[in-house]
Amino acid sequence: MATANLSRKTGVVRKVPQPVLNLLTQINQIVGDDVHKLFKYAQEKKFAIPAINVTSSSTVVASLEAARDKKAPIILQMSQGGAAYFAGKGLANDKQQASIAGAVAGAQYIRSVAASYEIPVILHTDHCAKKLLPWLDGMMDADEAYYKEHGEPLFSSHMIDLSEEEVDFNIQTTAKYLKRAAPMKQEIGITGGEEDGVNNEEVDNNALYTQPEDIYNIHKTLSAISPYFSIAAGFGNVHGVYKPGNVKLHPELLGKHQAYVKEQTGSNDDKPAFLVFHGGSGSSKAEYTEAISHGVVKVNLDTDLQYAYLTGIRDYVLKKKDYIMSQVGNPEGEDKPNKKYFDPRVWVREGEKTMSARVQEGLVDFNTANQL
């Protein structure tokens, strides 16, 4: 059964299945089956949802504003380092206690404000390497406690990044966690560059391309446990921004992965796997578009957004330099107060604006804009 959905911005009538329409009109964090439905809808409509690394209430606000203004769903995610920052860099983190506390605090904050922005929000955690599994354990403890009280986990999903480990260990460890809680993100392969201690810069380029047999093995193992998982396959993607020519992306490989999984499983679905594009910063729109055409439902953005956030603050400081060198006294007079210039709410807001603009750009590039 389908129903007509009148776009609030364009007035165009689209046919949207009722369950998906109900989902897209939700105005809060979504979990479980709703995430699965949104990902499948994204594949059908050929869009991907940007996953924004957030480290503070300020970066959360910038991201939510962008999604609201572009009428789009969004994924907000915290890395282990970002979560520790959310709690405070002055806290000890030898047992991941700051990262656990920051992730839980960030999740509670996002839950408390998301409804005000009237968009669906997926709350995710990113890049949990083997040495960081105690962080994941602590977050899943919080998930289970929240579930007992509210009937749903605190986070929409988590991702385990065991790409530095042997493939079998990667799959079996993720399967163990998937049995505990779904949905669970599963990453396979190696991503170049460095993020939160995962450094693959010296790895042979050939290792940056995941093999279709590995994708099928992951899919077979995890789908026997739960349908709530996605796979970050390496197709030459890296973290960070590199000079043109230094990174060779081959998103066409993702289509071969999907075809192999379809063949091996006998599925009628041309895109049986939910794929994730890691290291999205610095890629071209053509590369995004091709990856999305092969079933990518999520694209990570971090480096570009860090720089975008900086530019707003940098430009403000350069423009207002003579007004922030002292509390009193500026070009307008020696006794003129400068509080309205150095108030953090003023210059931090400039960073939010430029970051939000870059998130909006991603929403357009990934065809996520105006999907609500």
Catalytic, 126? Answer: yes
pLDDT number for residue 311: 98
Tokens of 41: 């809808």
Instruction: Give CA angle at 90 (109, 133), nearest 5°.
Output: 65
pLDDT number for residue 199: 44
Q: Tell me the average confidence (pLDDT) per consecutive run of 10 residues in the chain, 372 residues long.
A: 27 42 63 88 96 97 98 96 97 98 97 93 91 96 90 90 83 88 42 38 55 88 90 69 56 89 94 85 81 93 94 98 97 97 98 98 96 91
What phi, psi does 29 have (nearest 5°)? -65, 140
- Catalytic-role residue among 33, 69, 94, 126: 126
Residue with tokens 């991201």: 63
Alpha carbon 352 to its chain centroid, in Å, reads: 17
DSSP letter assigned to residue 297: E
pLDDT number for residue 209: 72
pLDDT number for residue 366: 96
- Are 162 and 174 in contact, with CB atoms under 8 Å apart? yes
pLDDT number for residue 205: 46
What phi, psi does 13 have (nearest 5°)? -90, 125
pLDDT number for residue 133: 96
pLDDT number for residue 64: 98
pLDDT number for residue 127: 84
pLDDT number for residue 24: 60
pLDDT number for residue 288: 87
